[in-house]
């Protein structure tokens, strides 16, 4: 995303535009963005067109707020900064083992996945999954991991079913090689 948009989103967010609408005139926003009122008005229209903000027009001031898409763009930028300033060659996650839906073994045993896991990850996968609910303090780290280029595992069709793409991230539990596998369709947000 163009920096001029993330800069504007960041300034709107700093005014409180993530949690609620903020009342701001084009002139005021222009001052904040260090541009003319006309340029600020144009920037608002661009952000609206891109679906990054929503606007409610008032008599004197408009009210604007970031959309979920706008917030996601700021999160991407935030995660890039974290990768620059905070991360070393590894990330440690803490969590609690959770019961899943009992489907892990079924998916891992599918030949279309199993062959790719062995070839791309360099180890034979255990026939099942270990579901870990990531501690709240570490959920941001999980977002950082997901923002990096993982190892794509391609989906396939077999037996009249479609098995979706997943992204794998090489990992370790103590000294045991494993992978964080993030399916395109997942029932969980903070569970890996």
pLDDT value of residue 186: 61
For the chain, what is the mean pLDDT? Answer: 87
Summarised one tens digit per residue, pLDDT across range 38-78 is 999 999 999 999 999 999 987 778 999 999 999 999 988 88
pTM of the shown model: 0.56
pLDDT value of residue 63: 94
CATH topology of domain 95-183: Elongation Factor Tu (Ef-tu); domain 3 (2.40.30)
The listed CATH number (1.10.4080.10, 1.10.10.10, 1.10.1050.10, 3.30.390.50) that belongs to domain 3-85 = 1.10.10.10
Q: DSSP letter string over the chain? A: --HHHHHHHHHHHHTTTTTS-EEE-HHHHHHHHTS-HHHHHHHHHHHHHTTSEEEEE-SS-EEEEE-HHHHHHHHHHHHHHHHHHT--S-----EEEE---S-HHHHHT-HHHHHHHHHHHSSPPPSS--EEEE-GGGHHHHHHHHHS--EEE--EEETTEEE--EEEEEEEETTEEEEEEEESS-S-SSB-
pLDDT value of residue 60: 77
Counting residues of the chain whose pLDDT is more than 90, the rounded percentage is 48
Q: What residues of the chain score a pLDDT lower than 70?
A: 86-89, 184-192
């Amino acid at each position: 995303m163009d920096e001029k948009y993330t800069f504007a989103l960041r300034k709107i967010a700093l005014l409180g535009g993530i949690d609620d609408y903020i009342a701001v005139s084009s002139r005021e926003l222009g001052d904040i963005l260090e541009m003319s009122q006309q340029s600020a008005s144009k920037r608002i229209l661009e952000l609206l067109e891109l679906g990054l903000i929503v606007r409610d027009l008032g008599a004197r001031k408009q009210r604007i707020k970031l959309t979920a898409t706008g917030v996601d763009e700021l999160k991407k930028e935030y995660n890039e900064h974290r990768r620059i300033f905070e991360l070393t060659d590894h990330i440690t996650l803490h969590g609690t083992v959770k019961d899943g839906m009992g489907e892990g073994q079924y998916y891992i045993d599918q030949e279309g996945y199993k062959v790719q896991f062995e070839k791309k990850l360099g180890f034979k996968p255990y026939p099942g999954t270990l579901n870990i609910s990531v501690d709240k303090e570490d959920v941001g780290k999980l977002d950082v991991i997901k923002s990096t280029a993982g190892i794509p595992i391609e989906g396939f069709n077999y037996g009249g079913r479609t098995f979706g793409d997943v992204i794998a991230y090489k990992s370790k539990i103590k000294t045991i090689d494993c992978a964080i596998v993030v399916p395109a369709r997942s029932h969980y947000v903070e569970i890996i």
